[in-house]
Structures are given as structure tokens and as C-alpha cells.
Structure 1
Amino acid sequence: MNSSSFLQIKKILKQRYPMLLVDKVLDTDSVMTTTVKYFTNSDPFMRGHFKDFPIYPAVLLIELMAQSVSFSLYDRYGKIDNIWFLSIQRCHYHGYFVPGDIAETKVEIVGVDANGLINCKGKIVNQNHKKIVECNFVLIRKDLE
């Protein structure tokens, strides 16, 4: 799937407002995905974090990466209902997002092992191509009983 609409995004991701964070998919294949998120002052997370200096919560940037890699996982497996976030291996923050900023997220599936562990890495840059966060994280592919 190349550049996708919001309706296509909703067909793949299971999250809904306010936790549906991906606004646009620029490019995706079975290994890499690039997405866009637009930050606005009406975002409920901006209004409560923090009163006099609204910034987007850092932990939600990790969620944005996990949602973004879901498009590669969907391309690879055809479904993502049995894939869960497991751990953050390494994460560095270099800045923050405020209303009016635009995030471009690039995520990659680094490897999948026999136990269903999916090793991923990603980074998010702002509209000026400044790196804001980079992270290695692990998902797990497992059917719930």
C-alpha cells in the first residue's frame, strides 16, 4: 500500500480516537513503513500535557512507532490481531512536538525469530528533518487462547 487515506488506515489499525495516532501512510512494504502525524492544539493529549507549554507525551511517540510498523506487519502477515507490544529495548529523545508540528515516522522490521518475537527500530523526525526520537522495540506474534 502506498500513500493511504484515513479510511484505509482505520481498516488496518485496531485503535480508535483518541488512540489512533497515524494520520497518513506515505509508503509501506513488508519491512519498512513511513507515516505522518499532524499535531494540533485540539489534540486531547496536548491540552493536558502541560498547561503552559503543551508538548506531545513522549510515550505516545513510541505508540506512534508501533502503530506505524503495523502496516508492514499487515503487508507481511495479512492480519495484525495477534501482534502485541512486548518491550522497549533502547529509546532516546532529542526533542519534543508542539501544536503545529508534523512528525514523519520511519520504522523497520529488523528480524523475526521462531518464537514470534519481532524486533523493530524506528525514528521520528519533525518537519525540519530534526531527529526527535529513536527507538528499538519488540513486538510478539502470538495467538491468544
Structure 2
Amino acid sequence: MEEENISITNFLKQRYPMLLVDKVVDYNDKSTKTIKYFTNSDPFMLGHFKDFPMYPAVLLVELLAQSISFSIYKKLGTLDNIWFLSINRCHYYGYFVPGDVAKVTVNIQSIDETGIIQCSGFIKNQHDTKIVECKFNLIRKKIH
């Protein structure tokens, strides 16, 4: 299954330059695989270290969050009232520079009766080297 960027905007609320997912390459009700391409013209690369542009690490967490949002939308049919709650563990093992490709895999571990959505994910580069891995929670707030 492949969703092009144009259709991703039907599911995610973010827009350029904050829409970080370039392509969804696979998904099911528990996991999603996405791709992000890094270029010299990326606005975040332009301002992050003049002599050695690299993608900001905090935006890699956002890339994971957007990827899991797609999975949650496909599972629940909505992203309304879903909020980022916490990062339980996040490890960085490297960085991305222009020309690199991020291969993102995210998983929904559980959704409990209180609305807590436990997730995990990792990002590898085009050489299958793990660059970041993270466990985090979202919450689905009930509106009365």
C-alpha cells in the first residue's frame, strides 16, 4: 500500500513546512511505515548548523508522532481529541544530512480504557542503520 503526500494531508493536520511525512509505504491497524527525504532546500536544514547542516533531532520525534498519527487515524477513524502526552524513552544514535532517507516504523502497542495510547517507533537511514528509537504515549480525551 502506498499513500502519496497529497493524500496524507487528508489525514494529518500539519502542513508544509511542518508536514514531515513524505510518503506512507505500508500500514495496518497496529503499525505504519513512512519515508522522509532530506534535502538541502529543507527549511530546517538551512538553519541548523551553517557548516554542517543536519536535521534537528527534536523533529525526528515529530516525524515519529506524525507517522503514528496516521496509524491512529486508520485504526480509530479520527484524530480529534488525540494529544501527545509523554516521551518515555528516546535514544539517538546518529543524524540525518541532505541526501539521506529516513525509513520510519511506528507501532501502536496498546489503547487502554482511560484513552492512553502506548506507542513505539524507530527511524533507520537508507543503509538500515538505526538513527533514533522512541517510546511515547498519546491520550484520547473524551468530550462530555
Scaled by the length of structure 1, the TM-score of the pair is: 0.96
Percent sequence identity over matched residues? 62
What CA distance in whole angstroms lies between the structure 2 residues aligned with 1:143 and 1:20?
A: 26
- Which residue matches 1:118? 117
Q: Which runs of 5+ in 1 are unaligned?
A: none
- Which residue matches 2:89? 90
What CA distance in whole angstroms lies between the structure 1 residues aligned with 2:4 and 2:13?
A: 15
- 1:56-110 CA distances to partner (integer Å, 9 max, x unpaired)? 0000000000100112111111111221111100010000000000000000001
What CA distance in whole angstroms lies between the structure 2 residues aligned with 1:7 and 1:48?
A: 26
- Which residue matches 2:37? 38
Matched, 1:67 2:66: yes
- Which residue matches 1:7? 6
SS in 2 for 1:79: coil
- Which residue matches 2:47? 48
Task: Count residues in correspondence.
Answer: 144
Q: How many Å apart are 1:143 and its aligned residue?
A: 4.4
Matched, 1:140 2:128: no
- Which residue matches 1:99? 98
- Which residue matches 1:22? 21
What CA distance in whole angstroms lies between the structure 2 residues aligned with 1:28 and 1:109?
A: 11
Matched residue type, 1:55: M
CA RMSD of aligned residues (A): 1.1
SS in 2 for 1:11: coil
After superposing on structure 2, the runs of 4+ consecutive aligned residues of structure 1 that deviate more than 4 Å are none
What CA distance in whole angstroms lies between the structure 1 residues aligned with 2:143 and 2:124?
A: 35
- 1:21-56 CA distances to partner (integer Å, 9 max, x unpaired)? 000000011100000000001011001111111010
What CA distance in whole angstroms lies between the structure 2 residues aligned with 1:129 and 1:5?
A: 22
Matched residue type, 1:112: I
What CA distance in whole angstroms lies between the structure 2 residues aligned with 1:101 and 1:28?
A: 22
Q: Which runs of 5+ in 2 are unaligned?
A: none
